[in-house]
Amino acid sequence: MAAGVLWAALGGACWRAETETPAPPGRYPGAVDDLPDGWSPGDPTDDPGTPGADTGAPGGAAWVDVTLPTLQGWSFFGRAQGAPADVYGITEDAGGNVWVAGGVEGLFLLRKGASAFERFTLADGLRPYGFMPDGSAPPGEPHLKVVSVAGGPPGTVFVGYAGKPHCEFSTDPSSFKSGDADRVMLTASGIAVVHYDISSGEGVVPGYTSREKLCTIHRIAYDAKTNSVWFGANHGIARGNADFPGAPTCNGVLDCSGVEEHAHPAIRGLDGDGVEVVLTDDYYGLSPASDGDVWIGGANRSARFRYMSNPGGPANFWHAQALVERPEFVANRLDVWEDAWDETHVPAPGPDKRDDDLVSAMAAMPDGTVWVSSFAWGLAQLDERGRVLRKLLGAPTERYLSSLGRDPTDDSVWAGHRYGGGLTRVSAGGLSRVGAELGELASHSVWDIQAGTAGGGRRMLVAFRADGHRTGAVGIYSGP
């Protein structure tokens, strides 16, 4: 099956088109993104819902609660324990609190030692939209949809939102200002929220009056070593200062925005009509390396984003951007599942000459390698330079993977399956699976896997998405 057909089956786009000039090294980005020549709307998290409400199942039907399994070493949570009906992401902060991305229902919290979840919505201060120049809210109804979470210091979580449909290409502030991310901190009376408005204001990017291309944050990652929060988004990646105090009236000025945006290992290719476009989309792959770099992976290409190991100097986002974007650095744009024609081919590769990688997650390892999962092609391990060491789970019955997480107990990696099959664990001893034992949950997509290590132990945290009218669940594994 062609990659484009596979991605359409996932409900997503296999490319985004734009006209863009790669950025040179320097303090400021130099990319110029115009409106697209063509594009395919949607992604696997793009489904409608009433913002902030207790919504019903797809089509307005009533939810049917999934039967939670009983498995040694596991704890499961459903709606009876206060969990959301649809679980997009799960994480643990350094204080041992578990946070869950609950889509249109909001953000959920299982405090350390608690047995039931709490819920936070717009009414509690969540801000799934950016600021107008005067610091006010954009026009229109807010679109609350929490789709990603990353634990930070004790009592702190970084929260990623979905923007409104087609926000990347909109000229309406009620749309292009939707999405982005928050830092959420527990207080004595509730939560405090700092919003990351992932945009560049007037004069920041040459060729732009202003720029706002990233709105849906598919993955989010916190790296205490570099005081960074990384955003993997619909169009590229961005970085935020993890201790950003907030600046509602900054209006995208680099010195006060708390954000550096954006970069992507984009390539040129032909769309279905034979028009040459720039291909970059849906960066679900996001994993900080032990040296402060970050691995990034999208629908088309992946890269080691050399934030700290850049020869132009450490902690330089723009130098790292140049290394993945400039034409002469083609070797840095990694094609894990190789296309028939690479980006240097003349004419540029069309859909029939590409097997778009459709990266779904990444897991950096202490030895410098990285695991990469794909929505369509299975699992691959790369060395520190991005060369493929091995590929696994490529059979038609197991290659559709939607999540990945490193287990710190033995540096094994857990892969979550997209269309049923549960989880596969890859360790030095081989493959082990948790599938049929999950009962009804065995057919659910596993959308996020993260490890929690607060308190000295480790827990593997698993997000099971809803399956049709049947609710999803939270799974926590504390076994060996």
Per the structure block, which two tokens stand in for 90?
A: 């799960």
Quick: pLDDT tens for 113-156: 999 999 999 999 999 999 999 999 999 999 999 999 999 999 99
Q: Is the pLDDT of residue 291 over 50?
A: yes
Quickly state the pLDDT bin for 341 (edges 50, 70, 90): very high
pLDDT on residue 351: 94
Average pLDDT over residues 271-285: 95
pLDDT on residue 380: 98
Q: Is the pLDDT of residue 187 over 60?
A: yes
Quick: pLDDT tens for 40-79: 223 444 443 333 345 678 888 999 999 999 999 999 999 9
Quickly state the pLDDT bin for 21 (edges 50, 70, 90): very low
Average pLDDT over residues 170-177: 96
CB-based contacts of 214, cutoff 8 Å, min separation 6: 168, 179, 180, 198, 231, 233, 234, 235, 236, 238, 261, 262
pLDDT on residue 207: 81
Range in 47-51, 279-283, 337-341 the model is least confident about = 47-51
Quick: pLDDT tens for 198-233: 999 988 888 888 899 999 999 999 999 999 999 999
Residues 438, 83, 376, 150, CA torsion sign:
negative
Average pLDDT for the chain: 89
For residues 129 and 177, is the Cβ–Cβ distance under 8 A?
yes
pLDDT on residue 164: 96
Per the structure block, which two tokens stand in for 155?
A: 């009592």
For residues 231 and 189, is the Cβ–Cβ distance under 8 A?
no
pTM, two decimals, is 0.91
Q: Distance between CA 119 and CA 102 in Å, rounded?
A: 9
Quick: pLDDT tens for 405-417: 999 999 999 999 9
All domains of the chain, ordered by start, with CATH? 3-477 (2.130.10.10)
pLDDT on residue 55: 63
Average pLDDT over residues 331-337: 98
For residues 146 and 106, is the Cβ–Cβ distance under 8 A?
yes
CA distances to 90, 186, 231, 382 from 303, rounded to whole Å, are: 25, 35, 15, 11
pLDDT on residue 323: 97
Query: Quick one: DSSP state of residue 256?
Result: H
pLDDT on residue 324: 97
Q: Is the pLDDT of residue 12 over 60?
A: no
Closest C-alpha to 217, from 200, 201, 240, 194:
240
CB-based contacts of 191, cutoff 8 Å, min separation 6: 120, 124, 125, 184, 185
Closest C-alpha to 324, from 286, 297, 352:
297
Q: What is the DSSP secondary-structure string of 263-295?
A: E---EEEE-TTS-EEEE-----EEEE-TTS-EE
Query: Quick one: DSSP state of residue 12?
Result: S
Q: Is the pLDDT of residue 174 over 70?
A: yes
